[in-house]
Amino acid sequence: MAGCSLSTLLRSTCYRPCPPFAYTYGDGVVAGTLTRDILRVHSIKAVTVANVTKTQVPLSLKGFDSLGNGGMIIDSGTTYTHLPEPFYTQLLSVLQSVITYPRATEVEERSGFDLCYRIPCDNNNNIVADDLPSITLHFLNNVSITLPRGNSFYAMSAPSNSSVAKCLLFQSMDESSDDDHYGPAGVLGSFQQQNVEVVYDLEKERIGFQVADCALAAVTQGLQKT
C-alpha cells in the first residue's frame, strides 16, 4: 500500500509515508485502529451466540499491555480464528448448550476441530438449511458484525447417508509454556473474513467491517473470470 516491502512496514522504517486511503461503502461499521501498520483491533467487547447468549471477552482481547501484547490481529494469512483460553472453551460450552444436532466425534478426532455436528440432508443427499447458531462480534460504540452463516460452521466433506458433518472453524490460541505470553491474544482469520469487506482507513487510523456478497460484487464490477 505504501510502496515499501512488508518487512520495512512492520519495522516502521519505510522511507515513503503511508498515503491517505479513501474507501466508500454503504452502511459500513468501523472499529479498531491501525498502529504502525500493525492491524490490531483493541475494542472487541463480547461475542454473542444465536442472538441470545453474550459472552464477555477477557481483558487481554480488549486492549494491550505496556509491552504491546494483547488485542486481536486481523490476519488474512491465518486461516481460522484463534481465541485465548479459557474464553475459547467458554464459547464452545455456549455453542454446545444451544445446538441440538448429534456430535460428529469421529470427524473431530480426524480433523482436529473441537466442535463438529452431524447435519441431516434431504432424501437426495442435498445439504439443506440448518439451525446452527449465528456468531456476532461486538465492538465499542455499539458496533457489531454477525458473521455470514458459512463463516462459522463448514461442511467437512460431501454428504453421505443423508447427513453431512459441519465443524466450527475456530481454534484455541497457542500459548507459550511459561507464564509470560507475548504477542496478540487472538486472531481473526481469513475464513471468518469471507464475504466481509475489511476496510483499512489509514488516514483516520480505523478498521471497518461490512458483510457483503463478494461474488456478486465481483460480477457487478466486471471482475469475474471469462
Of 42-46, 83-87, 125-129, 138-142, the range with the highest mean pLDDT is 83-87
Between 13 and 128, name the one with better pLDDT: 128
| 181-220 per-position pLDDT tens digit | 667 788 888 899 888 888 777 777 677 778 888 777 666 7
Q: Is residue 6 part of a domain?
A: no
Q: How confident is the model at residue 179 (pLDDT cuts 50, 70, 90)?
A: low
- Overall domain count for the chain: 1
Structure pTM? Answer: 0.74
Between 110 and 217, name the one with better pLDDT: 110
Q: Is residue 118 part of a domain?
A: no
Domain of 202 in residue numbering reads as 26-101+130-149+169-220
Give φ, ψ of 40 to 5 degrees.
-125, 135
Q: Is residue 2 part of a domain?
A: no
Q: Is residue 44 part of a domain?
A: yes
| 19-77 per-position pLDDT tens digit | 333 222 333 344 444 444 445 554 688 999 998 878 888 988 887 777 778 888 888 88
Q: Is residue 119 part of a domain?
A: no
pLDDT on residue 71 = 81
Q: Is residue 188 part of a domain?
A: yes
Q: What's the mean per-residue pLDDT of the chain?
A: 76
pLDDT on residue 3 = 43
Q: Is residue 81 part of a domain?
A: yes
Q: How confident is the model at residue 8 (pLDDT cuts 50, 70, 90)?
A: very low
**CATH code (residue 195):** 2.40.70.10
Q: Is residue 139 part of a domain?
A: yes
pLDDT on residue 72 = 83
* Sequence-ordered alpha helix ranges (H) in 5-130: 6-10, 59-62, 87-98, 105-111
Q: How confident is the model at residue 223 (pLDDT cuts 50, 70, 90)?
A: low
pLDDT on residue 107 = 95
Neighbours of 143 (CB within 10 A): 18
Question: Cα separation of 35 and 27, whole Å?
Answer: 25
Element holding 216 (H helix, E strand): helix 214-220
Q: Is 109 exposed, middle or buried (0-12, 13-18, 19+ CB in 10 A)?
A: exposed
